A and B are shown apart, each in its own frame.
Chain A
């Protein structure tokens, strides 16, 4: 019997990249359990495999071997469209480079995941407005990304991650493109979300940022060091 309190259960995950006959073993057998309500930070040197691991946790990519149980469902052998469904429902992504659509307003960017979830227009509009207000962006809803500061853009991205009310927030270097002040703001938001019950997996190489997490895990050369 699996404990219902476990959100992420990775066992013996490996990931190989093959380029021109050369196989690179990027992840070399990673086993990790993340409980619901956890806030963990994964740190490690550049090239150690942090982003690769996050892509697998976020089911953007599939492992070469090993199993991944997310919220009691084995996602390691799912088809592309099933994975899209899982990403849409279970996971909110926050990227280092924000990844907002430049042609769309802040509000439209936030609404995007709920369109793919099939939420009704009036309902998704109201929900997006509420989330943006909670993050202090009520005056910026109609701005396009290039009319926002980096910190504001990252807050819009967080609002988007929250739109479908996922259990898990994955943030890959969310403060990497921000100054210290904006970075602190983002971390405070993440802490707040964790206090409200969201499970957060944060990737960073900055010790100052990692210390906000409840638990810190190091990755070195594709292996976890506890």
Chain B
């Protein structure tokens, strides 16, 4: 019997019991939905990490307060003990090996004429920053230089969102903005970076660390970038920085991360997430598969007489086997297709405010899974149908 005819028979059988067919495929729909999401989020995180590391640069060491991946001190979150002066010490001692860019941050309100932008992240750093962080680029105007950094000049390079909010389409260079109540001169605009995990990366104003320190009375850093001149020395520099800090602080007070070590942390998170989603997918697909097997057994019983008739008219065992196997596969595959559509929609929505990336691989995977479920769980009912004795089947009422 030709495939086209088999497909027609299967569709007719499935569509003659629409509600039942739909309910049967629910498990498959959920399972495939989970697979698509799983792969999309996995791929999204993967490309996010890759981008971050590319932007980060493989010669970078990232210094943050507290300890990541180790036991916290009793009493919870350890307080930030990293001082601006620590980064100065590091810079001084490693003058020939690395350049250090500390980051201090303060949320503040910014005003220009009658326009106000609340909740802007004011970031203080050194002129090293623009050399160190690869994906920080100046779009227009300039970044502050070493002299401005040293003098604590009140100059600002603003993010894209701040520019749009305060200046619209006008040129902001040379204009004076108020950060809290201090006046800063805008000298540049940063290139747009978009949102990461729903946080706008362009709602930012970058100023010399000395200026921020003086205005907000900041003493501690949020983080620091340490760019190593010679990439081969990265381990050596990490070691040296650690030793410098340990003179004043304990091991629990700071973490030094390189591209490689941060990659492994994110990879761990990704793995946990993937295992969880994978588990949901596996259970849903198993339940879905059992549903398919169950409904196919019912279908074989209901159509005992039809099977008997087909055999009387010349259907071979293999014809009957194919007919019911294909019906199971089509049933499972239609669930799979609905699951794929829902999964793609969800991945797309997710990609708007979280990392998520639809890949052709996930669609192929989901397709493959639903066909496989249909074959595996449709096999027993189909074999049962094919083994029916024609007269017994014809007599069945």
Contact = CB atoms under 8 A, between A and B. Distances in A.
B316 A81 contact: yes
Contact of B391 (A61, A80, A115, A118): A61
23 contacts: A55-B391, A60-B391, A60-B394, A61-B390, A80-B316, A80-B317, A81-B316, A81-B318, A85-B316, A87-B312, A87-B313, A88-B313, A93-B313, A99-B309, A99-B312, A99-B394, A115-B2, A116-B1, A116-B310, A116-B315, A116-B316, A117-B314, A118-B1
Interface string A58-88: 1011000000000000000000110011011
B43 to A, nearest CB: 44
Interface string A112-130: 1101111000000000000
A103 B12 contact: yes
A155 interface: no
A58 B311 CA distance: 12
Interface string B346-375: 000000000000000000000000000000
Nearest to B315: A116
Interface residues of A, number: 25
Interface of A: 55, 58, 60-61, 80-81, 84-85, 87-89, 93, 95, 99, 101, 103-104, 112-113, 115-118, 160, 164
A81 B391 CA distance: 15
B306 interface: yes
Which interface residue of B5, B12, B390 has the most chain A CB atoms within 10 A? B390
Interface of B: 1-2, 5, 12-13, 16, 305-306, 309-319, 390-391, 394
The 8 A-B pairs with the shortest beta carbon distances in the complex, nearest first, are A88-B314, A116-B314, A113-B313, A81-B316, A84-B316, A99-B309, A60-B391, A60-B390
Given A103-B12, A103-B16, A84 B315 contact: yes
A84 B311 contact: yes
A148 B311 CA distance: 24
Given A61-B391, A117-B314, A99 B5 contact: no
B16 A116 contact: no
Nearest to A99: B309
Contacts of B312: 58, 60, 87, 93, 99
Contacts of A115: 1-2, 5
Nearest to A120: B2
Contacts of A87: 312-314
Given A80-B317, A87-B314, 20 more contacts: A55-B391, A58-B312, A60-B390, A60-B394, A61-B391, A80-B316, A87-B312, A88-B313, A88-B314, A93-B313, A99-B394, A104-B12, A115-B1, A115-B2, A116-B314, A116-B315, A116-B316, A118-B1, A160-B313, A164-B314
B1 to A, nearest CB: 6
Contacts of B310: 112, 116
Contact of A99 (B2, B305, B316, B318): B305
A96 to B, nearest CB: 11
B125 to A, nearest CB: 74
A101 B315 contact: no
A209 to B, nearest CB: 22
A16 to B, nearest CB: 15
B334 to A, nearest CB: 18
Nearest to B6: A115
